[in-house]
Amino acid sequence: MIRIGNASGFYGDRLGAVREMLEGGELDVLTGDYLAELTMLILGRDRVKDAGLGYAKTFLRQMEDCLGLAVERGVTVVANAGGLNPRGLAAAIDKLGVGARIGVVTGDDLRADFPEALTANAYLGAWGIAECVRAGADVVVTGRVTDASLVVGPAAAHFGWAREDWDALAGATVAGHVLECGTQATGGNYSFFTSLDVDRPGFPIAEVEADGSSVITKHEGTGGAVTIDTVTAQLLYEIGDPAYPGPDVVSHFDTIELAEHARGVRISGVRGSPPPETLKVCLNSLGGFRNGTTFVLSGLDVPEKAALVRRQLEGALGTEGLTWTLARTDQPDADTEETASALLHVTIKTPDPKRAKAFSRTAIELALGSYPGFHVTAPPSDGTPFGVYRAAYVPRDRVAHQATLPDGKVVAV
Amino acid sequence: MKVPLGTIAGARSGDKGGDANLGVWVRTDEAYAWLVGELTVARLKELLPEAGEVVRYELPNLRALNFVLHGLLGDGVASSTRFDPQAKALGEWLRSRHVDIPEALL
């Protein structure tokens, strides 16, 4: 059995979780997921400003605080915090002076194939991570590997799984899916939260067995709970077809068996089948500029107030790129001003940054000449660039998945 | 009895690009048998009129249904002008809708 914990479900998750997980009990591996479609865009903008950035900076802070502790305890740290610049992150970790053996997984960056995109990253699988772990890395940093690969890689290295061990790989993928959003597996964001103590849920752990089955649990004494319901909730997060495709295996979510276990929930029975011939690519492009504001419409004549301000704004600015939503949050004869008020949201999306900026001025110029009670929830800004997400699929051989081992040797995966 | 669906069903929702997914599960086999019959694509669209193209998947092993709401989020979270651009609360909205649930399941 190998005990794999998680300390991060997104870039911005609880900063102290790495320390909590290292000090809270036994672990073999500690993983962290820092990437999402939106995060790739945020990192892409960081990289435009400074080519040395593009990785999750909070992970570096966590390593500054805790990498020595992890090495001392013999816990391997595996994170996709490298984002768009895993080598940059590895170099920064090396500079911390802990003397940790660092493995790096690269090859996901496909900007050369998609030059029009701000970011273009294939979802790599687990085998690069497995190479680094096998080579004795204390910490493995990757770019865009699938979230579940953070768990599958160390498990595959530990048990010596082959690439065709579909059921074991699928079982570990399912465990990884449960772990990848951190406390969403342990009572966070949980529909029946009133039946649990979820004030400060602990981070999840998967005890993975040689056949890929697992027990989902958490450190003793931490908050939240691991129940069939909390695990079910997380299994349903961000999935599509129950035949869930990944770069290493298709995991059949309709074969998962859950059972209560003394320390949490046991997952077994998961069937796997060979993966698709293509790899998915996450593409973010700049879509233009956006701006928006929210008009507060209080009391009487709410539809007429909305119509007036809309006529005024569109009269001055034109209708192109504007989206309006009137939320009738107002109640009649209300005893607080807030519950007497409706909210009129307007957003502009435009290729022209000047037009996005002009939106603010136009909206504010209405302030003394519009509907009675005119005010907005926050003053509009100058407008900001927005991203457009698109998925693409490329043949596997277009992607040069590589593991750079702690001794500097580069292995093609 | 007309009560919120969330009286017996849990849900979790999220985003994949411009699509939203919405998983719904219940906790007994009897409730699942009812859910499969009740929460068809057509019924989901009645309960969530903002939904467009919807595909339903069944996961009897988890007593769950998974719905993919295609295109609900436009070009993805960074671009969407929806009130909840990552569809985080779509499931809680669905749970709050009132449906006829057999009293034996309550």
Instruction: Please list every residue in chain A whose beta carbon sits closer than 8 Å to the beta carbon of residue B77.
Output: 37-38, 389
Q: What is the pLDDT of residue B75?
A: 84
Q: What is the pLDDT of residue A138?
A: 98
Q: What is the pLDDT of residue A216?
A: 98
Q: Where are the domains of chain B?
A: 2-105
Query: pLDDT tens for residues B25-73?
Result: 999 999 999 999 999 999 999 999 999 999 999 999 999 999 999 999 9
Using N-to-C axis directions, what is the helix angle for A86-95 and A57-73, rounded to 10°? Answer: 60
Dig out the tokens for A20 from the structure. 């909590």
At residue A298 the predicted structure's pLDDT band, cuts being 50, 70 and 90, is very high
Angstroms from B68 CA to nearest CA on chain A: 6
Q: Which A residues in the span 126-145 are in contact with B, Cβ-Cβ below 8 Å?
A: none
Query: pLDDT tens for residues A50-61?
Result: 999 999 999 999
Q: What is the pLDDT of residue B77?
A: 82
- Looking at every residue in chain B, the average pLDDT score rounds to 96
The pLDDT of A363-391, averaged and rounded, is 91
Q: What is the pLDDT of residue A382?
A: 85
Which among A190, A239, A388 is the nearest to B21, CB-wise? A239
To which residue do tokens 């057999």 refer?
A: B102
Q: Cβ of B58 and A254 within 8 Å?
A: yes
Query: pLDDT tens for residues A166-204?
Result: 999 999 999 999 999 999 999 999 999 999 999 999 999
Give me the helices (H) in A327-367, please.
353-365
Torsion angle defined by CA atoms of residues A82, A85, A86 and A90, in that order, rounded to the nearest 10 degrees: -100
Angstroms from A309 CA to nearest CA on chain B: 19
The pLDDT of A280-293, averaged and rounded, is 94
Residue B12 to residues A217, B21, B64, Cα–Cα distance (Å): 20, 8, 11
Assembly ipTM: 0.97
Indicate if the pLDDT at residue A33 is higher than 90: yes
A233 or B76, greater pLDDT: A233
Q: Cβ of B21 and A232 within 8 Å?
A: no
A299 touches chain B (CB under 8 A): no
Q: What is the pLDDT of residue A384?
A: 87
Q: Cβ of B78 and A387 within 8 Å?
A: yes
Indicate if the pLDDT at residue A318 is higher than 90: yes
B84 touches chain A (CB under 8 A): no
> Looking at domain A283-382, which CATH architecture does it have?
2-Layer Sandwich (3.30)
Determine contact, residues A159/A122, Cβ cutoff 8 Å: no
Instruction: Please list every residue in chain B whose beta carbon sits closer than 8 Å to the beta carbon of residue A292.
Output: 81
Instruction: Please list every residue in chain B whose beta carbon sits closer than 8 Å to the beta carbon of residue A387.
Output: 76, 78-79
A136 or A286, greater pLDDT: A136
Q: What is the pLDDT of residue A383?
A: 87
Candidate from A297-306, A346-355, A358-367, B73-82 with smallest mean pLDDT: B73-82
Phi-psi region of A264 (alpha: psi -120 to 50; beta: other; left: phi over 0): left
- Looking at every residue in chain A, the average pLDDT score rounds to 97
Residue of B8, B29, B70, B75 to mutate for A, most A C-beta atoms under 10 A = B75
Residue A302 to residues A299, A338, A374, B45, Cα–Cα distance (Å): 7, 14, 12, 28
The closest of A356, A402, A387 to A120, measured between CA atoms, is A387
pLDDT over 70, % of chain A? 100
B32 touches chain A (CB under 8 A): no
Residue of B28, B35, B61 to mutate for A, most A C-beta atoms under 10 A = B61
Q: Where are the domains of chain A?
A: 2-276+396-412, 283-382
The pLDDT of A125-148, averaged and rounded, is 98
Query: pLDDT tens for residues A219-241?
Result: 999 999 999 999 999 999 999 99
Angstroms from B85 CA to nearest CA on chain A: 11
Distance from CA of residue A273 to its chain's centroid? Answer: 26
Q: Cβ of A349 and B12 within 8 Å?
A: no
Q: Which A residues in the span 146-205 are in contact with B, Cβ-Cβ below 8 Å?
A: 184, 189-192
Gyration radius (Cα) of chain A, Å? 24
Q: What is the pLDDT of residue A317?
A: 95
A299-308 residues labelled b (16+ CB within 10 A) or e (exposed): beebeebbeb
A323 touches chain B (CB under 8 A): yes
Which residues touch A265 (CB under 8 Å, ≥6 apart)?
A215, A216, A217, A226, A227, A228, A231, A258, A259
At residue A81 the predicted structure's pLDDT band, cuts being 50, 70 and 90, is very high
